[in-house]
Structure 1
Amino acid sequence: MTPLYLDEHLLVLDKPAGLLAVPGRGPDKQDCLSARAQAVWPDALIVHRLDMATSGLLVMARGLPMQRALSLAFEKRQVHKRYQAVVAGALEPEQGQIDLPLMIDWLNRPRSIVHHQHGKPSLTRWQRLDAAPWQPDAPAPHPVITTRVELEPVTGRTHQLRVHLQAIGHPIVGDPLYATSEQQGWSGRLLLHACDLSLPHPATGQTLHFHSPCPF
């Protein structure tokens, strides 16, 4: 395991799609990014998570004081993350935001849902990208229309980006929970990647910037 950044206070890793960030329930779900990191750096502690199906940048603290400092930075929204995704359909206009309250769908976990009465405030900003059109992994029976977008989660709710895009009618391609069966079949993975991360260094306060190229 080669980190993108490593010092005595933190490390930044590039998580592949399909790997858990933290252990799950059961012996078959113990292999995860945090366990692999702790096998090399025993003091590495989780600060935030990425969904198993999502790839990209993840920061871990080294030791409890650094974990507390980084967790506080997340709480104060001093950590800024940007994702790239491919969504179904033609997303218009050039940019916008999705402001819909979210909560866990307790009867259908691990899904989350929009709930205007009990949901927590959740905000996502998006911008359409002019990158080359994405092509499905396998031939489709009819033309596939998709849009490549940059996403900024201002809040950090469970499955926020995935639920917000579904809620406006543009689920992320390959999403096993929120896309239609046809949209899932367009890709062998969820087309969501954490590509940019900036945060204050927990010891020096210096702003650190990291980038991971989008793999799709």
Structure 2
Amino acid sequence: MIQIVFENTHFIICDKPAGVLSTPSRFEEDDARLCLGTALQKEKGFQIFPVNRLDFEVSGLVVYAKTAEAHRKANAWFEHKTVKKTYRALTTGQSYAHIPANVPNEKLKLTPEVGNTFEWRCRLLRGKRRAYESPQGKECLTVAVFRGMQGDYQVWDLNPVTGRSHQLRFDLSRHGFPIVGDKLYGSTVELADNRIALRSYRIDFANANGASALGLPEFLEISSL
């Protein structure tokens, strides 16, 4: 379960598998799901501090700090959006069949070509299970680039400029492109092992103030889907 892709005296960066928690859930004592942060802390024998998180069903790069000071600095990078995260997603072709009739949606027809870039904005509010659009929600911006086809599925690179919970899953779904395996947001494709076809495969630290002084590279990239 523990796949370390980078480690120095300040940080540990792992490739989290899908179907594993990044950090303990609110119901830790009654939650039997595997947790990467807990396992990593036990293996290392000292406290670690989560910097970013991925949904249970999502795989890819997760950053943990080894010290409270490194944690404080890294939190500031993410808060001020100086770290750029890139995700790879597979989706089915555009369809709005999963959007309930009572949910407002312009249902714009999109026929993306390779390299097309979209900026998607909304106000996102997180409910108990899923996110939804609301005037009371937080401002949300996703940059999506269409990369072409992989077999029967469309390939997207996604940059969440804002880091809202379920942001990428919601944005693709509301534009008619539910992520493969993401039944919560409308996918009709079922994947095994509690996973969806969404992976955080690159983190750029080049614009993060002080990152190089803490030994971080300009970027880290692992295999995409």
Q: TM-score range by the shorter chain?
A: 0.7 to 0.9
Which of the residues 133, 146, 150 maps onto 1:133? Answer: 150
2:52 equivalent to 1:35: no
2:169 alignment partner in structure 1: 162
Structure 2 CA distance for aligned equivalents of residues 127 and 193 of structure 1: 15
Percent identity reads 29
Distance 1:43 1:208, change over 3 A: farther
Superposed CA offset, 1:23-76 (max 9, x none): 121433363010011112323211110000000011111111111010011111
On the 8 A contact 2:121/2:141 being kept in 1, the answer is yes
Letter in 2 for 1:56: G
1:42-53 equivalence runs, <5 A: 42-53=46-57
Superposed CA offset, 1:86-120 (max 9, x none): 11215533221111110012xxx1211011x1011
Structure 2 CA distance for aligned equivalents of residues 209 and 175 of structure 1: 28
Letter in 2 for 1:32: C
Which of the residues 109, 116, 133 maps onto 1:114? Answer: 133
Structure 2 CA distance for aligned equivalents of residues 213 and 96 of structure 1: 24
1:176: Cα distance to partner?
2.9
Which of the residues 97, 101, 116 maps onto 2:123? Answer: 101
1:78: Cα distance to partner?
1.0
For this pair of structures, how many residues does the alignment match?
197
1:51-66 equivalence runs, <5 A: 51-66=55-70
Which of the residues 172, 184, 189 maps onto 1:184? Answer: 189
On the 8 A contact 1:86/1:147 being kept in 2, the answer is yes
Structure 2 CA distance for aligned equivalents of residues 95 and 2 of structure 1: 32
TM-score (norm 1): 0.84
Structure 1 CA distance for aligned equivalents of residues 33 and 185 of structure 2: 25
1:135-150 equivalence runs, <5 A: 135=152, 146-150=153-157
1:161: Cα distance to partner?
0.2
On the 8 A contact 1:57/1:197 being kept in 2, the answer is yes
1:179: Cα distance to partner?
1.7
Structure 2 CA distance for aligned equivalents of residues 28 and 104 of structure 1: 21
1:203: Cα distance to partner?
6.9
SS of 2:189's equivalent?
helix
Return 187-196 or 73-82, whichever deviates more: 187-196
RMSD after superposition: 1.9
Structure 2 alignment gaps of length 5 or more: 95-109
On the 8 A contact 2:77/2:83 being kept in 1, the answer is yes
Letter in 2 for 1:211: E
